[in-house]
Amino acid sequence: MTIEKGKLWGGRFEGSPDRAFRRFDCSFGFDRRLLPYELAVDRVWADALVDVGVLASEEAARIRAALDEISKCIEADPAWLDRSEAEDLHGFVEAELIERLGALGAKLHVGRSRSDLIVTDLRMFVKDAAGAVGAQVVRLVAALADQAERNFGLPMAGMTHLQHAQPILFSHWLLAHAEAFERDVERLEAAVRRADACPLGAGAFAGSTLPLDRIKIARALGFERITANSIDAVGDRDFALEYLFALSALALHLSRLAEDFILFASAEFGYLRLPDAYSTGSSMMPQKKNPDAWELIRGKTGRVTGALVALLVTLKGLASSYQRDLQEDKEPLFDAHDQMLAATEIAAGAVAATGINEERLRRAAADPALLATDAADYLVARGVPFRQAHEIIGALVKEAERRGQPWNELPLDVMKAFSPVFEPDWQREITVEAALERRGLAGGAGPRPVREALENCRAWLRAAGLREGAR
């Protein structure tokens, strides 16, 4: 019987597949992206087959040499892959091995199935992918920390419900975003750990019959451990789901960062100056500079979250072990990864290049309305119950509004008519600086805790850098 190149099955078939179905069935168009992992697995597999006596070491050496040659051909001419008619990446490699080695090339695919192969490749991809995005998010956190450092001390009109609320340090706002991205990095690291188990040896689903050293194979491929149950090993995609959730949370945080930057760069706020390098103009309105980088980053959230939902729905209700539906795991995963790898790079660059309009920030932070809570606290410090103090300051603000005057410029006798505990010194106590100083609790918006948060962020960055270096 002759060996047919690139044909992974068909002995029991009389007819060939319908043409449209064949196109529908083929995954090489997207799973070829996993070729570097497939080739790495094959190199280790050749050695494993020597260990169990299926291949002579000289045969394994020839297979490895052929695999190296295939790698080189791909590097030299990536368009080579476009011309292939392979069904999937497994068929592609096998065909190329047979092309080069004849019958020896057909010896490699024993003791394994495409079902344990593909999930091994995908786990290797997720480990690299989540590591790469994590490293990029670390750079984004560093860019936020640098801006926080450079603008330390600058006050800002803190808002809730997008209404002026209390004074904060501008750096406190930046570090709020940094905090969320630190969690994202930790989630990405957890996704790497979840993916870090080698399924090889699970075979099609019931385990290989060869006496393989699964741990040795896993180690050779850089896996920390092996999967347990062989049925679960080929059917489980939790590691992909968890990576997609980490990406979705990241996309969501990026979109909130983007929204703040877009808002604060508008003429109404004017806190931030859009960098040319990350903005675009209008084809009609000559004056325009648009925050397109941020808008696109915000816009990516939909497709990334969509990828997570797509995989969740694909997995729901699948019978245990491998089902072909699982092939649908790859495209959304690749897309979500590519988008977030790009978005985090752009976000880090845009944060670093953004100009800060100190004057606009200071002017907005000088709004006396921001000091109303501190005024109530002033009364409380002099024995007034808080609920009553709240009422008094509210009434003062209303009275000032009626007079068309900032509340803190009302004459002392008017103030005293509202509450006799106001003393001539009150204005000195209720300033932006004093209000910030008073927010000294850990996690607060004042200079002391924000300095501390900045130092913590630097320490976190150093630790993250070390973890990355250790990978």
Which of 81/369 has CB closer to ligand ARG? Answer: 81
Q: Which stretch binds ligand ARG (CB under 6 A): 110-118, 159-167, 181-189, 451-459?
A: 110-118
Which of 314/354 has CB closer to ligand ARG? Answer: 314
Is 333 an interacting residue with respect to ligand ARG (CB under 6 A)?
A: no
How many CB atoms sit inside 10 A of residue 338's CB?
A: 13
What's the min distance (Å) between Cβ of 38 and ligand ARG?
Answer: 11
Which of 88/377 has CB closer to ligand ARG? Answer: 88
- Alpha-helix residue ranges (DSSP H) falling in 52-163: 57-76, 89-101, 114-150
Letters for 69-88 (x = contact with ligand ARG by CB under 6 A, - = none) are: -------------------x
What's the min distance (Å) between Cβ of 7 and ligand ARG?
Answer: 14
Q: Which stretch binds ligand ARG (CB under 6 A): 102-110, 112-120, 304-312, 361-369?
A: 112-120
What's the min distance (Å) between Cβ of 66 and ligand ARG?
Answer: 22
What's the min distance (Å) between Cβ of 236 and ligand ARG?
Answer: 12
Q: Which of 112, 114, 237, 300 binds ligand ARG (CB under 6 A)?
A: 114
Return the axis-axis angle of helices 238-264 and 330-353, rounded to nearest 10°.
30
Is 124 an interacting residue with respect to ligand ARG (CB under 6 A)?
A: no
- Within positions 288 to 327, which residues make up the interface with ligand ARG, using CB under 6 A? 322, 326-327
Beta strands 272-273 and 225-226 are unpaired
Q: Which of 41, 93, 118, 140 binds ligand ARG (CB under 6 A)?
A: 118
CB of 37 within 8 A of CB of 121?
yes
Catalytic sites, residue numbers: 161, 282
**How many residues bind to ligand ARG according to rule CB under 6 A?**
10
What's the min distance (Å) between Cβ of 145 and ligand ARG?
Answer: 41
CB of 87 within 8 A of CB of 28?
yes
Q: How far apart are CA 38 and CA 94, in angstroms?
A: 11
Q: How far apart are CA 24 and CA 160, in angstroms?
A: 51
In whole angstroms, what separates CA 285 from the centre of its chain? 35
As a 3-state breakdown, the chain gives helix, strand, coil percent values, each rounded to 5, of 70, 5, 25
In whole angstroms, what separates CA 44 from the centre of its chain? 31
- Alpha-helix residue ranges (DSSP H) falling in 404-446: 412-418, 426-429, 432-438
Q: What does the binding site for ligand ARG look like in residue numbers (CB under 6 A)?
A: 27, 31, 88, 113-115, 118, 322, 326-327
